[in-house]
Amino acid sequence: MMMVSLVLALSVNRLQAADKVARIGYQKSGALLLVKNEGSLEKKLAPLGYGVEWREFSSGVPILEALNAGALDVGHSGDAPVVFAQASGVPFVYIGVTAASPENTGIVVPKNSPLKTLADLRGKKVAFTKGSSAHYLVARALQSAGLTFADITPVYLQPPDARAALQSGTIDAWGIWDPFFAAAEVDAQAHALTEGAKLSPHREFYFSRRDFAQNNPAFVTTLLEILQDSGKRALADPKGTAAFLAPKLGIGLPVMERAEARKESYGAIPMDAPALADQQQVADTFFKLGLLPKAVQVGDYVYHPTK
């Protein structure tokens, strides 16, 4: 009888552990890859009864799509995809945000381009990924130069195609983020017309399904603590971080070193007032451009732990 009770107890414990598995979507270039490699999250969560399943994605958009479909609990992305997800009604909440890292994004032109200032973009073909952080950067850059999208020819391209177009001369400029930005500078010797300073904060956002965050506040707290600790180590050793990431991404070490040397978007804290204001500006900009089906209030999607 005692043996039966023990077996039943073990079965119940396994079921409880299975019920608390967190499914995390990550990108190869993100801080979550470092956390996954360290195994620090699993160690910290084990005493709380959580398991972790890691699932790799190419970018923030498919992570949000998977979360919307119920296939993920937690993920991360740059600024633009989460704004579009909010406008589409994806049931997520912002659980964390990194420091701003504006130097990790920019608008580049070929090495011998006659374009020297943002005002020179008038009448030119400018490539960027539609609905991305680079789209937002280009919008803000044009605004700072007294231009609008009507003054240029937007060319919507994914990074690999845009780089080829820049090198072939079929476009005049390219709005992009690291490590593609660094690759254009290092490998193609492209020149930056501008970086994101005073234009685009270029933060990284961590999010969760709304119900998961509300039901698992201990997980959210632990994840942010681990991201903060891992981020400090990455910032303290940019060359070491670059050496780890370069082979994972299939990118040359000099490129990764350039990108990591200027990267500040590590760590994670709950959404604060500056991040909220910056993200609201992103949302308002895309709405004014007619790219969002409705205006959104970012504050409505910020996670507040229950007391």
Supply the CATH number for residue 130's domain.
Answer: 3.40.190.10
Instruction: Give the total number of structural domains in the chain.
Output: 2
Q: Residue 106 and residue 176: Cα distance in Å, rounded?
A: 6
Over its length of 307 residues, how does the chain's per-residue pLDDT go in tens digits? Answer: 433 333 333 333 333 444 589 999 998 877 999 999 999 999 999 999 999 999 998 888 899 999 999 999 999 999 999 999 999 999 999 999 999 999 999 999 999 999 999 999 999 999 999 888 999 999 999 999 999 999 999 999 989 899 999 999 999 999 999 999 999 999 999 999 999 998 999 999 999 999 999 999 999 999 999 999 999 999 999 999 999 999 988 899 999 999 999 999 999 999 999 999 999 999 999 999 999 999 999 999 999 987 5
Residue after which a domain boundary falls, among 161, 178, 195: 195
Residue after which a domain boundary falls, among 195, 216, 247: 195
Q: What's the distance, CA 2 to chain centroid? A: 52
Residue 262: domain span: 23-101+202-301
Are 209 and 188 found together in one domain? no
Q: Residue 152 and residue 87: Cα distance in Å, rounded?
A: 27
Are 181 and 271 found together in one domain? no
